[in-house]
């Protein structure tokens, strides 16, 4: 649009991508958000210093704080977002429920008011009936939210929600409402101008959540029919008109499996998942926010809003899915995203990557763990999911733990593919924590074939090393045995004119020839090519005598042997990892908020030992067994690395 941009940044973000991309950048303070990004005066000073005419608040921090646009207006600076009155009515979740009730919008039963203390919280929860949701009034992004199924969980959840709300939003008010069992999260995107025109841009489904934070979104929703979509959209518009809304905003609903729906809250800002709406409607929401803020009229009418195809977005987070999704920080040693492309008549699939990091950059513990958003669009839901699965197989992140293995496994999950979703999907499908898919069936064959072909290529490469004795009569072994954990795959590999072929050996018989083709070179983190003309992308990382592969949710170490090597490998004893049951280790890099026990104290299983904060989330570390605390090696305020020793049992 030809608009010059100014970035603001804290000490933690001095090398961030947005700072690099902006025309100008202004430093605004130390890493804690309460001392930098949440300080209105510092943002104002940056505007005045650079002569900025307008401010886009982004997704978080001050984006839903009424005082921010008020302060900007007084300084003669335009806020790229809704007017302060609409923000006050909708941005505060308590006030928004009152406004929704007045606009005849379906609302969830609950206590519309501020909770005074934990005793008050328990009393209200018992009146509403368990389970209940404790939510920060100024919250968002899953921060300051807790579900309670009994009195004890209300007491702890109330304090945790208030504490997280205070540190994330500078506002510790919380409220309580009924938690709908087996719900779906469906939201309507609205867009309004300053001339009274408001439209809705269809819906998004965001039911794949963890700890109340969205992980995967799609548009449209597989739940809705046209009649429900229209009814939900019209209620969202009625609510927006009731408060004079004039920007992009999102009206969130909790929906039952029977397509009943209730107003949840309104986000008076751009949503993280806005790209899926952009791809199904063809409208650029950020551009429209800027044009509306400049006073332009909407040129799009409700009848102009179309629903074109299907879009899926995965949020790539810096967290370890194998360790209960604990945050991960550190340097991005390697960071390669899938190739972006716009769909055309030949191939209608679109691949889009919105990211804020780069290879060599740091993931800090101070802010949200979002690394990137991977978005795909195709004519049908099935095609969009298939495109997402292929793109995830190309998404390489090394140096930190990340959730790409989980996302890749989700794309293969039958229930997800069928669209039978709820906000408890992850808890129901992986109740004991996430585990990668087993190497079996066609994915195992694909991995084994690529492992054998790579080993064959490397052997060919070694034969070209100069100084070797000529060996015209030597016959090289073509047979390979690939060990994939509990299973073995036997193959024969052969160089052909147009690539390398493989035969799978099953029951001692050679199967049909399968051709592999790829331009892969040693050192590349992703093998991209084809097997029998089917496009394949597989992530790989070298390990002794093989590779660690990630493909379609399968994460496995593949060891490649000659037949006689495999015989020896089968009888090698496995060495178990040693880990003391007496040690309490820090499960993620983070800041110690409290040590809740003393040396010599007797504790029971489940009792709180310490609280560690990472990426704006407070994580309670509990005793896994009864015992006596022998040593405490950490203290409040310590910054700990992952697996750092916190305390030991006697």
Q: Which residue, among 564, 547, 566, 544, has the nearest Cα to 556 in the 3D structure? A: 547
Question: Does the active-site annotation cover 265?
Answer: yes
What's 109-179's CATH class? alpha beta
Report the 3 state secondary structure along 220-237.
Answer: CCCCCCHHHHHHHHHHHH
Looking at domain 441-466+474-570, which of 1.25.40.10, 3.40.50.460, 3.30.700.30, 3.40.50.10190 is its CATH number? 3.30.700.30
Find the mean pLDDT for residues 44-72: 95
Find the mean pLDDT for residues 365-388: 95
The pLDDT of residue 616: 66
Distance CA 138, CA 1 (A): 32
Domain 314-411 of CATH type 3.30.470.20: yes
Helix or strand run (H / E) with residue 569:
helix 563-570
Q: How confident is the model at residue 580 (pLDDT cuts 50, 70, 90)?
A: low
Dihedral over alpha carbons 430, 435, 440, 445 (to 10 degrees) = 130
Phi, psi (rounded to 5 degrees) for 288: -70, -35
Give yes or no for residue 474 having a pLDDT over 70: no
**Which segment of 51-55, 60-64, 270-274 scores lowest on mean pLDDT?**
60-64
Give yes or no for residue 392 having a pLDDT over 90: yes
Query: Same topology for domains 314-411 and 583-649, yes or no?
Result: no
- In the three-class reduction of DSSP (H, G, I as helix; E, B as strand; rest coil), residue 67 is classed as helix
Find the mean pLDDT for residues 175-188: 90
Distance CA 243, CA 440 (A): 55
Looking at domain 583-649, which of 3.40.50.10440, 2.40.50.100, 2.40.37.10, 3.40.50.300 is its CATH number? 2.40.50.100
Please, are residues 319 and 404 in contact by the beta-carbon 8 Å criterion?
A: no
The pLDDT of residue 114: 77
Q: How confident is the model at residue 96 (pLDDT cuts 50, 70, 90)?
A: confident
Find the mean pLDDT for residues 306-310: 97
Question: Strands 198-210, 184-192: parallel, antiparallel or unpaired by DSSP?
Answer: antiparallel
Find the mean pLDDT for residues 208-216: 91
Find the mean pLDDT for residues 532-559: 94
Find the mean pLDDT for residues 538-546: 93
Distance CA 112, CA 34 (A): 27
Q: Which of 66, 177, 187, 265 is catalytic?
A: 265
Distance CA 568, CA 561 (A): 10
Tell me which of 8 and 616 has the higher pLDDT.
8
For tokens 């704080």, the residue is 65
The pLDDT of residue 31: 93
The pLDDT of residue 515: 92
The pLDDT of residue 140: 66
* pLDDT per residue as tens digits for the range 585-640: 988 788 899 999 999 999 988 889 999 987 767 888 988 888 999 999 999 999 88
Q: What is the mean pLDDT of the chain?
A: 92
**Which segment of 192-201, 300-309, 351-360, 600-609 scores lowest on mean pLDDT?**
600-609
Tell me which of 642 and 267 has the higher pLDDT.
267
Q: How confident is the model at residue 95 (pLDDT cuts 50, 70, 90)?
A: confident
The pLDDT of residue 428: 94
Distance CA 171, CA 271 (A): 21
The pLDDT of residue 576: 65
Domain ranges within the chain, ordered by starting residue: 6-88, 109-179, 314-411, 441-466+474-570, 583-649
Q: Which residue, among 412, 419, 424, 502, has the nearest Cα to 457 in the 3D structure? A: 502
- Say which DSSP state 12 is in: G
The pLDDT of residue 577: 57
The pLDDT of residue 643: 83
The pLDDT of residue 312: 98
Please, are residues 269 and 196 in contact by the beta-carbon 8 Å criterion?
A: no
Distance CA 160, CA 148 (A): 12
> Angle at CA 634, nearest 5°, toward 631 and 637?
155
The pLDDT of residue 578: 56
Give yes or no for residue 498 having a pLDDT over 90: no
Is the omega angle on the peptide bond into residue 131 within 30 degrees of 0, that is, cis?
A: yes
Tell me which of 558 and 328 has the higher pLDDT.
558
Q: How confident is the model at residue 61 (pLDDT cuts 50, 70, 90)?
A: very high
- In the three-class reduction of DSSP (H, G, I as helix; E, B as strand; rest coil), residue 210 is classed as strand
Find the mean pLDDT for residues 185-192: 98
What does CATH list as the number for 6-88? 3.40.50.20
Find the mean pLDDT for residues 35-57: 97
Distance CA 529, CA 500 (A): 12
Residues 6+ apart with CB under 8 A from 54: 77, 78, 79, 80, 290, 293, 294
Distance CA 212, CA 403 (A): 16
Q: Which residue, among 339, 344, 439, 434, has the nearest Cα to 393 in the 3D structure? A: 339
The pLDDT of residue 325: 87
- In order, the DSSP letters of 305-336 are ----SEEEEEEEESEEGGGTTEE--EE-SEEE
Phi, psi (rounded to 5 degrees) for 136: -70, 135
- Percentage of residues in the chain with pLDDT exceeding 90? 71
Q: How confident is the model at residue 429 (pLDDT cuts 50, 70, 90)?
A: very high
* pLDDT per residue as tens digits for the range 114-140: 788 999 999 999 988 898 999 888 766
Find the mean pLDDT for residues 486-514: 91
Give yes or no for residue 464 having a pLDDT over 70: yes
Q: Which residue, among 446, 431, 433, 428, has the nearest Cα to 405 in the 3D structure? A: 433
H helices of 172-320, in order, are: 226-242, 274-281, 285-293
Find the mean pLDDT for residues 292-315: 97
Q: How confident is the model at residue 89 (pLDDT cuts 50, 70, 90)?
A: confident
Helix axes 67-74, 40-50, angle to 10 degrees: 30
Give yes or no for residue 570 having a pLDDT over 70: yes
Distance CA 444, CA 556 (A): 9
Give yes or no for residue 579 having a pLDDT over 60: no
- In the three-class reduction of DSSP (H, G, I as helix; E, B as strand; rest coil), residue 557 is classed as strand
Distance CA 362, CA 589 (A): 13
């Amino acid at each position: 649009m030809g608009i010059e941009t100014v970035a603001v940044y804290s000490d933690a973000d001095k090398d961030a991508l947005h700072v690099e991309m902006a025309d100008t950048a202004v430093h605004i303070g130390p890493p804690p958000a309460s001392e930098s990004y949440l300080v209105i005066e510092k943002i104002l000073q940056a505007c005045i210093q650079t002569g900025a005419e307008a401010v886009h608040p982004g997704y978080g921090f001050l984006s839903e704080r009424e005082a921010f646009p008020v302060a900007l207006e007084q300084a003669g600076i335009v806020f790229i977002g809704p007017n302060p009155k609409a923000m006050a009515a909708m941005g505060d979740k308590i006030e928004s429920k009152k406004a929704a009730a007045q606009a005849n919008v379906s609302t969830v039963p609950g206590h519309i008011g501020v909770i005074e203390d934990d005793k008050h919280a328990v009393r209200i929860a018992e009146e509403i009936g368990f389970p209940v949701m404790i939510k920060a009034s100024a919250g968002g992004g899953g921060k300051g939210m807790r579900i309670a199924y009994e009195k004890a969980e209300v007491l702890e959840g109330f304090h945790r929600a208030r504490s997280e709300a205070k540190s994330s939003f500078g506002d510790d008010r919380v409220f309580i409402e009924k938690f709908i069992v087996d719900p779906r999260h469906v939201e309507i995107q609205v867009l309004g101008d300053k001339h009274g025109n408001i439209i809705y841009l269809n819906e998004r489904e965001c039911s794949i959540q963890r700890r109340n934070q969205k992980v995967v979104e799609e548009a449209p929703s597989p739940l809705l029919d046209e009649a429900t979509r229209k009814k939900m959209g019209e209620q969202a518009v009625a609510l927006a008109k009731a408060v004079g809304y004039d920007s992009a905003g999102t009206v969130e609903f909790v929906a039952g499996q029977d397509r009943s729906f209730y107003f949840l809250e309104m986000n008076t800002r751009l949503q993280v998942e806005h790209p899926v709406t952009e791809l199904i409607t063809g409208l650029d929401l950020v551009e429209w926010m800027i044009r509306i803020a400049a006073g332009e009229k909407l040129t799009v009418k409700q009848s102009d809003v179309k629903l074109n195809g299907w879009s899926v977005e995965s949020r790539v987070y810096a967290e370890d899915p194998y360790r209960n999704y604990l945050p991960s920080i550190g340097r991005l040693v390697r960071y390669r995203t899938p190739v972006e492309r716009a769909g055309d008549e030949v191939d209608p699939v679109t691949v889009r990557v919105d990211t804020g990091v780069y290879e060599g950059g740091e993931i800090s513990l101070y802010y949200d763990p979002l690394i990137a958003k991977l978005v795909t669009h195709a004519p049908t839901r099935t095609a969009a999911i298939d495109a997402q699965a292929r793109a995830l197989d190309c998404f390489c992140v090394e140096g930190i733990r990340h959730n790409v293995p989980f996302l890749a496994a989700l794309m293969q999950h039958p229930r997800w593919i069928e669209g039978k979703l709820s906000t408890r999907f992850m808890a129901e499908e992986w109740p004991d924590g996430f585990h990668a898919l087993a190497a079996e069936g066609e994915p195992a064959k694909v991995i084994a074939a690529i492992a054998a072909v790579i080993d064959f290529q490397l052997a060919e490469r070694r034969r070209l090393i100069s100084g070797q004795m000529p060996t015209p009569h030597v016959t090289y072994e073509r047979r390979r045995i690939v060990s994939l954990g509990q299973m073995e795959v036997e193959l024969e590999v052969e160089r052909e004119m147009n690539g390398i072929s493989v035969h799978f050996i099953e029951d001692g018989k050679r199967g049909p020839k399968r051709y592999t083709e790829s331009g892969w070179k040693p050192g590349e983190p992703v093998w991209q090519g084809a097997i029998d003309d089917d496009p394949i992308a597989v992530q790989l990382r070298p390990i002794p005598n093989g590779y660690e592969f990630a493909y379609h949710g399968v994460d496995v170490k593949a060891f490649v042997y000659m037949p006689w090597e495999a015989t020896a490998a089968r009888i090698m004893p496995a060495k178990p990892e040693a880990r003391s049951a007496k040690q309490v280790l820090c499960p993620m890099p983070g800041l110690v908020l409290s040590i809740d026990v003393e040396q010599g104290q007797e504790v029971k299983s489940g009792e709180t030992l310490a609280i560690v904060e990472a990426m704006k989330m407070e994580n309670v570390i509990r005793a896994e067994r009864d015992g006596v605390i022998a040593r405490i090696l950490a203290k409040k305020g310590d910054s700990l690395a992952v697996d750092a020793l916190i305390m030991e049992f006697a």
